[in-house]
Structures are given as structure tokens and as C-alpha cells.
């Protein structure tokens, strides 16, 4: 899902703002036939704030995204006007902030259609579902079927004609310059895991996670483990090949964050990755991404932080109407289906984000068996670790996330000039919750919110992302326009516990 594209479709949200839950993250193929072996041995180929619904935080600096069009994974979702930077509900209905978008489409600093889950395809005999990860498309945020045929083929094909060539020397004893990519990878890889999630019906996929503490908690994306949340099965595999069963401790669909825990960590080498400060990250800083793109565990890629505070929304694309929102770190490090939930590290080897989505130029075709998913084009998005850490602590402590809300239903279809408070809530109730934060601040239906804190607001989804960068109880300046007159006042954010 891309937040750069203006005019991209976004999931519609329902419910009024106050106390409504934040839009939830995407929940989460048969490999293509292996091509004939060549003569020469082939090398291994390798959503909305207010409302009684939900509340979610949005990015602090809404960017203007290029025009986008809905991706193939979201058939029937009309693309919003290319010149608008607002989030749109496919249904055209106003979305309540904090409520779950109705059509599952995403939003972004300019919005884009829902993204498709990331992950590697699963062997047919094990599951039918593909990998897990929200994919961002240039034209739309599409949460369609996951699965990358290329990854499965490269990892599982039976090719006895291939050969291997070993370079002299033992890599384990080779000297690595401290702070180099090789040094960072060597230290981090033992703490990065590949997660396999399988629902009770046998569907699922793979994603990534990393060791959060010595108690056996693993931090990842909600959409990576969602399919196994109710009676399913989770397994975690470390870089040394050891596998452990795991269970879900808590999920935050709106933030797209989840915490799982090893059921029996005995014998596991649990070395938590150090957490950095995402607020201090600067555009141009070096990044290292680790994950299992298309099922290829232990893959390391590099890049830079190419943007900050990028409003992004993603959806499972399954028509559930669930979406997640983030004020993302943007990176050009190669990220593909299967990287979801993996760490984005800085030059010191500290986690600054959780890789969650990508924007792709290919809305169709792509890899054989990928069902519309495409690979990286240098636009990856990660949940800032400062936000993810706060959510993780909530989940470990209570099992439920807490979302900040303003208590107002905002129109998700209109955009470009601000976030307009709807005439009515999505359920027919008042758009501004009586006694809620917005009501106490003097806001009314028809007011257009143009700024929250220091961040310019150009659409409903952008407002949601920005709200979610704050904590409940925080007093924030809010600027709105009524009858052509601009007014600034303070609003104290309310809260909503849980996604439902």
C-alpha cells in the first residue's frame, strides 16, 4: 500500500469517532511449474478515526501521493480521482475515524487501494493460502490473495542437475568491519524468525518476526498471524533451523501489530534485537531489512530511509472491511511478500521499524502464481518502532490495543483540502459524539479539519494516521474551517480499547 499516491481508493470506515476501534490490519498457491532444466546447471533462484467504530493514528506529515488506480486484487473498487489526495471509501460513504473501513481499501498521504498480504506460497499439501503481507500498489492499496510462485519454485523445486561451488576460506572466521552490513546481519539474523500461520481450515502463509524479549515474545504484523488466531496453528523457525510452536498473545488490527510467544522456549537462544528511536531517524539514514521474501528465509537487503511520516493504509482485500493505518517510514530497501513483520534496522543494527507493506507498479501479472502480487520497486513501508513498541507493551500486558480517538465521523470520500466532518455517523447517529473530544472542542458537522498539531491534514485517512501517532489523553491543537473562517483550538484525545 502506498501513501504516496493521491486519489487512491481507501477502505470505507463505519461508526462514529468516539471510542470507535481503529481500522484493523489485513488478515492473512500453487507454485508454478519448474521450467525445464537448462543445459547449463541453473543457479538457485533464488482507514478512519472517529465513530463508535475504531480509532487509528495517522502519519505526522501527510505527503501528496501520485495518482493511483485500484489494483486487480480489489475488483469492483473504483479508483478515486487522480488529482485528489484524500482517502476514498469504495462505497462512497463517510468513514468514522477509529472505525473499520467498510471495503477494506487503504488510505495514505494520498491514498491508494488496499494492499495484498505478503508472504511465500505454501506447499499444496500443507495449505492453500499464500504468504502474508500487505502489498502496496502504485495504483491502489490491494489486499488480495498472497503467494509468490517464484519463491516456492526456487526453494522447493527438485533439480538434481545444479551444482555448487565453494569459495576458499571459512566465512565464519572471516573478519567483518564493525557496522558493516555483514556485521549487522550476522548479529541480527539469529534473532529474526520465519513465521508459518495456518488456520483451522488449512489456509495460511508465511511471514517474518523478531525476538522482542527473553520471555519468548516475538513481534510481527497482525496480518501475518491473523489466520491462525482462532483455532489455527503457528510455528516459528529460527535461523539455525530449530522450530517452535507459538501462540498469539495479542493483536492490533488497526496498527497491524501482533505479539506471539513460543509455547515452550526451552532450548531457544532468545537474543532480543535492540530497539532504536524511530523519531530520531532522518531521511537518508541507511537501512537493513531482514525477512523471508517469497519464503526465502534469512534474506538481507539494504537501502535508506527515503521518507518519513508517510500516511499508509492496507487491507486484507477480502471484503472484510478491515484496514490498518500507519505513519510509515519509507525505504528503498528491497521488500517483497514474506518480509512482513521483519525488522528494518539502522546502521547501528537497532530496529527502527517493522516492515509491513510495499507499493508495486504491477497491479496484475507479476510472478507466476503470485495472484497479482508483484515485487519491490523500491517503495517499502515500515511501522515506526516507537509506535510498535507502545502497542506491543499494551498487548503483552492486556492482550488488547488502545487507540486514540476524536469522537467524530469524518468523510473519507472527500479530500484535498482537509478532513470534513460528516453530516451523520455511518450508523445514522450523530457525526460528532455528544460529550466526546470533538464535541468538547466545539467541532460540528460540516467543519473541515485542516491541521492537527503541526501536521497539515488533506484528507480523512491522513487525519486518522496523524491521530494515531499520539496517545489517548494528549492535548493537541486542531485547526478547522467553518463557513470560510479558520479556527484553532485544543482537543484532548479520547480512547478506544480493542479492535471490535
Q: Are 209 and 255 in contact (CB under 8 A)?
A: no
Q: Which residue has the cell 537474543?
A: 271
Position 23 scores a pLDDT of 37
Give 450-499 pLDDT, tens digit per residue. 999 999 998 888 898 899 999 999 999 999 999 999 999 999 999 999 98
The confidence band for 90, taking pLDDT boundaries of 50, 70 and 90, is very low
Take residue 70 and report the three cell numbers written for it. 485500484
Does 436 score more than 60 pLDDT?
Answer: yes
On whether residue 427 sits in a domain, the answer given is: yes
What average pLDDT does range 289-313 have in this prediction? 94
For residue 14, pLDDT beyond 70: no
- Give me the active site residues, please: 223, 256, 340
End position of a domain, from candidates 212, 234, 260: 260
Backbone conformation region of residue 13, classed left if phi is above 0, alpha if psi is from -120 to 50, else beta:
beta
Q: How confident is the model at residue 115 (pLDDT cuts 50, 70, 90)?
A: very low
Q: Which of 260, 292, 323 is the last residue of a domain?
A: 260
Residue 172 has what pLDDT? 58
pLDDT of residue 479: 98
Residue 88's pLDDT band, with cuts at 50, 70 and 90, is very low
Percent of the chain clearing pLDDT 90 (strictly above)? 48
Q: Which residue has the higher pLDDT, 393 or 106?
A: 393
Instruction: Please indicate, yes or no, if residue 456 is contained in any of the structural domains.
Output: yes
In a domain, 486, yes or no: yes
pLDDT at 142 over 80: no
Could you tell me which residue, 468 or 129, shows the higher pLDDT?
468
pLDDT at 202 (0 to 100): 82
Q: Would strands 448-452 and 204-211 be described as parallel, antiparallel, or unpaired?
A: unpaired
Tell me what pLDDT residue 420 has: 94
Structural domain includes residue 1: no
> What pLDDT band is residue 215 in, cutting at 50, 70 and 90?
very high
pLDDT at 86 over 80: no
* The pLDDT of residue 109 is above 50: no
Q: Is residue 441 part of a domain?
A: yes
Give the separation between CA 410 and CA 435, rounded to whole angstroms: 17
Residue 130 has pLDDT above 70, yes or no: no
Residues 6+ apart with CB under 8 A from 215: 261, 265, 270
What whole-number distance in Å separates Cα of residue 51 and Cα of residue 460?
A: 12
> Which segment, 45-49, 167-171, 431-435, is predicted with the most confidence on average?
431-435
What's the confidence (pLDDT) of residue 405? 95
Strand 494-497 relative to strand 402-405, pairing: antiparallel
So what's the pLDDT on residue 290?
Answer: 98
97 grid coordinates: 475515524
Where would I find the beta strands (DSSP E) of 8-75?
Answer: 9-10
CATH code assigned at 460: 2.30.42.10
Asked if the structure places residue 171 within a domain, the reply is no
Q: Taking the CA atoms of the chain, what radius of gyration do you get in angstroms?
A: 21
User: What percentage of the chain exceeds 70 in pLDDT?
Assistant: 60
More confident site: 69 or 307? 307
Question: Is the separation of the CB atoms in 500 and 467 below 8 Å?
Answer: no
The pLDDT value given to residue 63: 39
The helix or strand, by DSSP H or E, that contains position 291, with its residue range, turns out to be: strand 286-291
Q: Which of 42-46, 104-108, 168-172 has the lowest mean pLDDT?
A: 104-108
Instruction: State mean pLDDT over 413-436.
Output: 88
Instruction: Please list the residues that pair with 295 across neighbouring strands.
Output: none
pLDDT of residue 174: 66
**Residue at 81 is within a domain:** no
- Between 407 and 140, whose confidence is greater? 407
| CATH number of the domain residue 204 falls in | 2.40.10.10
Given this model, what pLDDT does residue 189 score? 98
pLDDT for position 316: 52
Please work out, in degrees rounded to the nearest 5, the angle formed at the alpha carbon of residue 197 by the alpha carbons of 191 and 201.
170
Q: With respect to residue 40, please indicate whether it lies within any of the assigned structural domains.
A: no
Q: Of the candidates 235, 260, 285, which is a domain's last residue?
A: 260
Per-residue pLDDT tens digits for 48-65: 344 333 333 333 333 333
CB-based contacts of 352, cutoff 8 Å, min separation 6 = 276, 277, 278, 281, 287, 305, 329, 344, 345, 346, 382, 384, 385
As for how many domains the chain has, the answer is 2
DSSP-based three-state secondary structure for 300: strand
Q: What is the mean pLDDT of the chain?
A: 72
| pLDDT tier for residue 427 given thresholds of 50, 70 and 90 | confident
Which candidate, 184, 474, 119, 448, places its Cα nearest to that of 316?
119
State pTM to two decimals. 0.68
Instruction: Please compute the mean of the pLDDT values over residues 116-145 and round it to a whole number.
Output: 35
Output the CA–CA distances (angstroms, integers) from residue 442 to 195, 445, 447, 482, in the order listed. 47, 10, 10, 11
What are the pLDDT digits (tens) for 274-284? 999 999 999 99
Q: Residue 230's CB: how many other CB atoms inside 10 A? A: 9
Q: Which domain holds residue 215?
A: 179-260
What does the DSSP assignment read for 310-348? EEEEEE-SSSS--EEEEEEEEE-S---TT-TT-EEE-TT
Q: Span 128-147, mean pLDDT?
A: 33
Mean pLDDT of 282-287: 98
- Write the pLDDT tens digit of every residue in 354-373: 999 888 665 443 333 334 45
Amino acid at each position: 500500500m502506498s501513501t504516496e499516491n493521491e486519489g487512491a481508493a481507501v477502505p470505507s470506515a463505519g461508526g462514529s469517532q468516539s471510542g470507535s476501534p481503529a481500522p484493523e490490519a489485513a488478515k492473512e498457491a500453487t507454485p508454478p511449474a519448474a521450467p525445464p532444466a537448462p543445459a547449463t546447471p541453473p543457479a538457485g533462484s533464488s482507514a478512519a478515526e472517529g465513530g463508535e467504530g475504531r480509532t487509528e493514528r495517522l502519519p505526522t506529515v501527510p505527503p501528496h501521493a501520485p495518482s493511483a488506480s485500484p489494483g486487480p486484487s480489489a475488483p469492483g473498487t473504483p479508483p478515486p480521482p487522480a488529482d485528489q489526495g484524500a482517502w476514498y471509501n469504495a462505497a462512497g460513504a463517510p468513514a468514522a475515524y477509529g472505525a473499520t473501513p467498510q471495503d477494506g481499501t487503504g488510505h495514505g498521504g494520498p491514498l491508494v487501494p488496499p494492499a495484498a498480504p505478503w508472504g511465500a506460497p505454501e506447499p499444496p499439501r500443507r495449505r492453500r493460502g499464500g504468504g502474508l503481507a500487505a502489498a502496496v500498489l502504485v495504483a491502489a492499496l490491494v489486499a488480495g490473495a498472497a503467494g509468490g510462485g517464484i519463491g516456492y519454485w526456487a526453494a522447493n523445486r527438485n533439480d538434481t542437475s545444479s551444482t555448487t561451488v565453494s569459495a576458499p576460506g571459512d566465512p565464519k572466521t572471516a573478519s567483518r568491519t564493525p557496522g558493516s552490513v555483514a556485521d549487522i546481519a550476522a548479529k541480527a539474523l539469529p534473532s529474526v524468525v520465519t513465521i508459518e500461520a495456518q488456520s483451522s481450515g488449512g489456509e495460511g502463509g508465511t511471514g517474518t518476526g523478531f525476538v522482542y524479549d527473553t520471555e519468548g515474545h516475538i513481534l510481527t504484523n497482525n496480518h501475518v498471524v491473523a489466520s491462525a488466531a482462532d483455532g489455527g496453528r503457528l510455528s516459528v523457525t529460527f535461523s539455525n533451523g530449530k522450530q517452535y510452536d507459538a501462540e498469539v498473545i495479542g493483536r492490533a488490527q488497526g496498527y497491524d501489530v501482533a505479539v506471539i510467544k513460543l509455547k515452550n522456549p526451552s532450548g531457544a537462544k532468545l537474543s532480543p534485537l535492540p530497539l532504536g528511536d524511530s523519531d530520531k531517524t532522518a531521511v537518508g539514514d541507511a537501512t537493513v531489512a531482514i525477512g523471508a521474501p517469497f519464503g526465502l528465509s534469512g534474506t538481507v537487503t539494504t537501502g535508506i530511509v527515503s521518507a518519513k511520516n508517510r500516511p499508509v493504509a492496507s487491507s486484507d482485500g477480502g471484503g472484510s472491511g478491515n484496514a490498518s493505518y500507519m505513519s510509515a517510514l519509507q525505504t528503498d530497501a528491497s521488500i517483497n511478500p514474506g518480509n512482513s513483520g521483519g525488522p528494518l534496522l539502522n546502521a547501528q543494527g537497532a530496529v527502527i521499524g517493522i516492515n509491513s507493506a510495499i507499493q508495486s507498479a504491477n497491479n496484475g501479472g507479476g510472478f507466476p502464481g503470485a495472484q497479482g502480487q508483484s515485487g519491490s520497486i523500491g517503495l517499502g513501508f515500515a511501522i515506526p518502532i516507537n509506535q510498535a513498541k507502545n502497542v506491543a507493551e499494551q498487548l503483552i500486558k492486556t492482550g488488547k490495543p488502545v487507540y486514540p480517538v476524536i469522537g467524530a465521523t469524518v468523510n473519507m470520500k472527500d479530500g484535498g483540502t482537509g478532513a470534513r466532518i460528516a453530516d451523520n455517523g455511518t450508523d445514522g447517529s450523530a457525526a460528532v459524539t455528544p460529550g466526546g473530544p470533538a464535541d468538547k472542542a466545539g467541532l460540528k458537522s460540516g467543519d473541515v479539519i485542516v491541521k492537527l498539531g503541526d501536521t497539515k491534514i488533506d484528507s480523512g485517512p491522513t487525519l486518522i494516521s496523524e491521530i494515531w501517532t499520539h496517545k489517548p489523553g494528549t492535548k493537541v491543537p486542531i485547526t478547522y474551517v467553518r463557513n470560510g473562517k479558520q479556527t484553532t483550538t485544543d482537543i484532548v484525545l479520547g480512547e478506544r480499547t480493542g479492535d471490535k
